[in-house]
Structure 1
């Protein structure tokens, strides 16, 4: 195995990692020593790739790339068909290419960590001076890209082309660089690390540790911020929400008045100084001195001193438990005790046959959440109405409970008919006689279907008197005046039958019942499962 790849940017500060052979469980086997396995030949690796590809093809169905899409908001965006589909050999090849070129990122990460952790004090202090100058004069920020290009890219490249001549003297004389004359060395080029070099395995080690660090930071961030923002504790999340709203409104008005240069100067220097190795000891000594000072104030304030200590006249909790209790007291927001209320509706649907010479009466069919009007999609599709047979079977929506004990009949049927823009129906008007063929003892609120125009005309014709029919079929000498009179009488009787007759109705009629529901708290396990359904349910 090669020692390292020439001109490859990698992190060579740590030894070559050891590859553990065999199965291991994530973090439990990290510390176990392992044995470096021999590299498998290309023929064997290709055979394994083929086997894994066949297995994945059996497990995951292959779909057309053009048919796949990702959704951004409410608009689906088709995936570019020029991009290759998932392939295990392609993924392995891309990983090897990526790992050979990722060394510059880990090198930069190592140098930043070394700079901020005070490994070399002179470097960190110099960085603090540069940061302070930029905070005091933000116009210097535009110089940074050019300075980095000059001092960290071009100057090292020039020195690599003009190295110092070899020293022939036996004394320890510092080599000098000659900036005159032709170049003595080839130009330095960044090359990817070879797969057989130690640098390649160093990159694999850093990539492995980077993925672990990201996972740990992700889990820690979620565990810290999720309880504050997901309203699992409504009082605490409400406090955070109100605080953020007040801060946003306040900064919207006063952000231009704040001394941002001074804030960034003090905050940045304080953050970097807090990373000094001796900073924790300094903080502990100061905290101990402050606790000792509060303990000496006297027996009257001894008990209070154990619970809190004064910082510039402000009482601060002395223990984590006291700090938590203080936060809980601040978050003690009185939420609205009255739950949200809404109105639930259900339609009582009745049916009767319109077969010829049938004297069938209205029969209860079911209770449905939809009115099953003539132009409803289910009725146009030829489906029967869906619902339950009895009132007792009607259940409230998920997350809601009945507040009222009884269902109330909606007698003002005109309102919900007009609101839904339902056509092809007739309904009762308050103060007018019944129009749906009901007896005077029945309650109203019915909305019935009107029959087709052809059926209404035929029924109007069939109810005419015999003498009117005679006038419609006169002898050859009948004049046109009698024919016109018969037509007018047919039209008059037809209009009366449509509006006031007891038989000019369709097969279905319905009326609306309403009931009040209020929200109830769901169990913790069901809250997240029903969140999407509750948000989209229209009660």
Structure 2
């Protein structure tokens, strides 16, 4: 194994990692034995082909259709632009990526060393440069060119013009000659060789980087998720209101803030806080500021000194008082009244229209649909679907009954016209004596009109008319109907003539019952269980 790749940019500050194989844990991998490195040979082996075949059987059919799994040497995705998933191709790309990712880890190491005060002179120089940029942001444009000059081109020039070898036995500092032709070839960045220690260093850094990202991701989710996912509605509501106020305030005052000095002070304070002696310094300052005598005196009249009333505004004077004040502000009074909706169910009755049959209306079932003559289920020849009794009607998922009883909707005209139901008759409120309903019977019924074979010509002509329901039995209204037939036809599209007598009713009739439901906390269930009919 080579010591390192000369032209590769990698992090060589740490020794070559040891590789162990064993059971993996989220915290650390248990070290159970050494694993020898094997060089992956180009080309597809029998093992790779077998794994690809197994992978095709494991993946769902719809995923295979959209994201094809490769079983050949040249996998192509359906759009012929990007290759499909292939285990050998993924392994080859990982080796290429790992051989070239060293510059990222080298940059990460340099930044960590700079901010951790490993070399005080370097960190102070960075603070001076940062301060100059904060005071004069126009200098930010110079940074890319300065990096190109001092970190790319100057080292490249020094590589072409190295100092001559020292022949003296004394320790003399080598000097660079900037005159004459180049003495060395140009330095070219090359990927790390797979047989070098740098390749293993990159693998070690990549492994640790993935672990760091996972830890940061989990910590971020655990910290911010309770604040933003409304699991605690009072806390999330307080955060939402705070963000709203801050957004509105910054929208008006952001241009007035001294951002240069804010970034100057904040950046310097953040970097100075990373100094190893900073915690000891803070503890010493905090210890000097504590006065035991003043603390005992403050305990006696804590309630009087915790806050000061200035012009009716309570200002806290201690951290504990400030925390209690923020807690009181976060105690938002949420709406204690849940959302309410109105659900409906149709009581459907049936009677036979067979000749010489005097059958009465019989209860059929309660259905979420009115089963009108032009409904899809009626046209398809299906029977209405529902339940037999009121007690079997259940509220939608996530809702609960608020009212104790069902209420009858007597204004049937409204929901008939709203649904644009035709071929039906209904009673008008206040005209039960004219509608043919038996005395004492509850109204709100909407019935089907019978077929033409059950009515004479006059009934058919009058039933298919579009007249006012209040002028049903008036001869004068019959005359006016003949005169105004063309004018009033459009306004009466969804209303049918109501006649006395049971022979004007069809086989089915229905009426609408309503009930109030309110929202309840819905537990986490499967998506398929949540897909229920909201119409009961």
Fold match (TM-score > 0.5): yes
Moved more, 121-130 or 371-380: 371-380
- Give the 5 Å matches for 1:42-121: 42=41, 46-63=45-62, 67=66, 80-121=79-120
Moved more, 191-200 or 429-438: 429-438
- Give the 5 Å matches for 1:425-440: 425-433=424-432, 438-440=437-439
Q: Does 1:302 align with 2:304?
A: no
Instruction: Report deviation, 1:41.
Output: 6.1
Other-structure match for 1:207: 206
Deviations 1:484-520 (A, max 9, x none): xxxx9xx9xxxxx964263344443322111112233
Instruction: Report deviation, 1:133.
Output: 1.4
Deviations 1:38-73 (A, max 9, x none): 41663998343333323322222354766469xxxx
Give structure 2 stretches of 5+ with no counterpart: 69-76, 308-314, 461-481, 486-495
Q: Does 1:517 align with 2:514?
A: no
Q: Does 1:456 align with 2:452?
A: yes
Other-structure match for 1:162: 161
Q: Report if the CA contact (8 A) 1:428-1:434 is conserved.
A: no
- CA distance in structure 2 between the aligned counterparts of 1:411 and 1:353, rounded to whole angstroms: 25
Instruction: Report deviation, 1:378.
Output: 3.8
Give the secondary structure class of the aligned counterpart of 1:190: coil
Deviations 1:418-453 (A, max 9, x none): 3333344332222334677542332221223345xx
Cα RMSD, aligned residues only? 3.6
Other-structure match for 2:190: 191
Q: Report if the CA contact (8 A) 2:352-2:507 is conserved.
A: yes
Instruction: Report deviation, 1:330.
Output: 3.5
- CA distance in structure 2 between the aligned counterparts of 1:242 and 1:535, rounded to whole angstroms: 34
Report the CA distance shift for 1:381/1:534 in structure 2 as closer, same or farther (over 3 A): closer
Other-structure match for 1:472: none
Other-structure match for 1:480: none
Report the CA distance shift for 1:304/1:24 in structure 2 as closer, same or farther (over 3 A): farther
Report the CA distance shift for 1:178/1:380 in structure 2 as closer, same or farther (over 3 A): farther
- Give the 5 Å matches for 1:263-342: 263-290=262-289, 292-293=290-291, 295-297=292-294, 299-302=296-299, 315-317=317-319, 327-342=326-341
With structure 2 as the length reference, what TM-score do the two structures score? 0.81
- CA distance in structure 1 between the aligned counterparts of 2:160 and 2:354, rounded to whole angstroms: 103
Q: Does 1:351 align with 2:347?
A: no
- CA distance in structure 2 between the aligned counterparts of 1:81 and 1:379, rounded to whole angstroms: 50
Give structure 1 stretches of 5+ with no counterpart: 70-77, 465-487, 492-496
Instruction: Report deviation, 1:139.
Output: 1.6
Moved more, 148-157 or 271-280: 148-157
Q: Report if the CA contact (8 A) 2:434-2:499 is conserved.
A: yes
Alignment coverage as a number of residue pairs: 488
Instruction: Report deviation, 1:530.
Output: 7.5
Give the secondary structure class of the aligned counterpart of 2:425: strand
Other-structure match for 1:468: none
Report the CA distance shift for 1:20/1:48 in structure 2 as closer, same or farther (over 3 A): farther
Instruction: Report deviation, 1:202.
Output: 0.9
- CA distance in structure 1 between the aligned counterparts of 2:137 and 2:22, rounded to whole angstroms: 55
Moved more, 10-19 or 506-515: 506-515
- CA distance in structure 1 between the aligned counterparts of 2:123 and 2:306, rounded to whole angstroms: 35
Give the secondary structure class of the aligned counterpart of 2:294: coil
